[in-house]
Structure 1
Amino acid sequence: MSDPMRPRASLRTAVVWEVLKDALDAKVEAAGSDALDVLDTGGGTGNFAVPVARLGHRVTVVDPSPNALFALERRAAEAGVADRVRGVQGDIHGLFDVVERGGYDAVLCHGVLEYVDDPAEGVRNAVDALRPSGTLSLLAAGLGGAVLARALAGHFTEARQALGDPAGRWGDGDPVPRRFTAEQLTELVAKAGVEVGAVHGVRVFADLVPGALVDTEPGALDALLQLEAAAAELPAFHSVATQLHVLGQKQGPDRR
């Protein structure tokens, strides 16, 4: 895989990046335009925004953190894409206070729904920011991965707590406010007017494999990346993934 964020970070981003890149390439071909308008909600320091801009697209990042947006600006400048990356302070609930409704060919909503008060509203806003037939890339924490991780660490009571908790939390010390199943995410997306194209399990194995093994064993990183890619679209592995990725298209004709 040709992840621009290798080596170790690629274990967290490779599957999503490859899927997203393919989706943007397909959108470019369908639109007959070399550059798309992409919105990255909660995009932070530009883990995805900067690589997307390097593909030639115009990217707007909305994030509530001034420090993250400052780092984004520096990162974009270092990558030579400062003219294609714009950062604005805001969040998904007040999205249209800072960006145009219906103004984007693709919207990234990665690592946002876990932290908002109303995930359904967050998804609706992300979809409303799309042009007709626009592409939505949604990434959120998976319930099953958290349960499995707590159990393998020997925290069986916490694993049971997460399994039965409506928000998928394992206790008061859990840093993640909310987790989802694949069914919950696809239902949110479908109700917001998006046709689901694919669901991917992300970090199915990466968080369970000892880091020393990946760092020292020759060829282990590439082999693990290939394993992650092979398992990502198999429904059997969605229930144990640390994160879940949903890719879909806003329903309606493209009137660009």
Structure 2
Amino acid sequence: MSDQTRRRSSMRTAVVWQVLREALDRRAEAAGRDVLDVLDTGGGTGNLAVPIARLGHRVTVVDPSPDALAALERRAAEAGVTDLVRALQGDTHDLFDVVEPDAADVVLCHGVLEVVDDPAADLGRIVRALRAGGTLSLLAANRTGAVLARALAGHFDQARDLLVDPEGRYGPADPLPRRFTVADLTALVAKAGLAAGPVHAIRVFADLVPGVLVDDPGSFDALLDLERAAAEQPEYRALATQLHLLAGKPAA
């Protein structure tokens, strides 16, 4: 992997990783265990699964792509955490064909609800995989941020379509079936029986500034610090490419 690719990947995941790591620590303390069982739905090649395993937690990744899972296994082997990472082919629609209900302390649902046929039903199944008192980490594409990005790129018709389309799409060429607002996500987790926690703005500036600034080592750290600061400010959620929400399952 080139330094440029590594920097771009880090910019995409750094804020989510910081929030998630703190959530894992809180969940471990509440559970009274150093080792948690983590389920990563749609976890692909292990961008988060492997770092979580490096912390000593057991991670199960469920993904429909055999190629992604093969890459995950290679990454886990390179990191020396093969014994802590389990790769299973499947999807959220048939989740319990490959995992057991009530088996995870933490579930990651990142970039999943945008592409499934029925987000509410799939999220309901994901929540069933959580133990009582468990934590959901939900990451999804932000509708309002996409409107801004299309407008700034000069695609004003697409921006307007995004603004009014019920699913938050800009037309047949849009690669995503849907996008969400903060209200959409909080309503979904409430319907699934979870208590919504903090919402973080992800990639507020990184996808709006010229790419050369993301690639420049001299500006990278300052941009990342800015992203971390903006993530905590509710007024910047509307600008973000993605929204990250933590939610908790009631204790038994």
Same fold (TM over 0.5): yes
TM superposition score category, shorter chain reference = over 0.9
Tell me what 1:123 maps to: 123
Structure 1 residues 215 and 23 mapped into 2: Cα distance closer, same or farther (>3 Å)? same
Distance of 1:15 and 1:6 partners within structure 2? 15
Deviations 1:180-210 (A, max 9, x none): 0011001100111111111011111110111
Aligned residue pairs: how many? 248
Tell me what 1:170 maps to: 170
RMSD: 1.2
Tell me what 1:70 maps to: 70
Deviations 1:28-75 (A, max 9, x none): 122221110000000000011000000000000000011111111111
Distance of 2:128 and 2:226 partners within structure 1? 35
AA aligned opposite 1:216:
D
Tell me what 1:93 maps to: 93
Tell me what 2:224 maps to: 225
TM-score, normalising length: structure 2: 0.96
Tell me what 1:152 maps to: 152
AA aligned opposite 2:216:
T
Distance of 1:216 and 1:112 partners within structure 2? 31
Tell me what 2:23 maps to: 23
- TM-aligned CA deviation for residue 246 of structure 1: 0.6
C-alpha contact (below 8 Å) 2:132/2:250 kept by paired residues: yes
- TM-aligned CA deviation for residue 215 of structure 1: 2.6
Deviations 1:74-115 (A, max 9, x none): 110011000000010110111011100000100000000000
Structure 1's consecutive aligned runs of 4 or more residues displaced over 6 angstroms after TM superposition are: none
- TM-aligned CA deviation for residue 213 of structure 1: 2.0
User: Could you tell which deviates more after superposition, 110-119 or 191-200?
Assistant: 191-200
Gaps of 5+ in 2: none
- TM-aligned CA deviation for residue 6 of structure 1: 5.1
TM-score, normalising length: structure 1: 0.94
Tell me what 2:250 maps to: 251
AA aligned opposite 1:48:
L
C-alpha contact (below 8 Å) 2:206/2:214 kept by paired residues: no
Please state if 1:195 is matched with 2:195.
Answer: yes
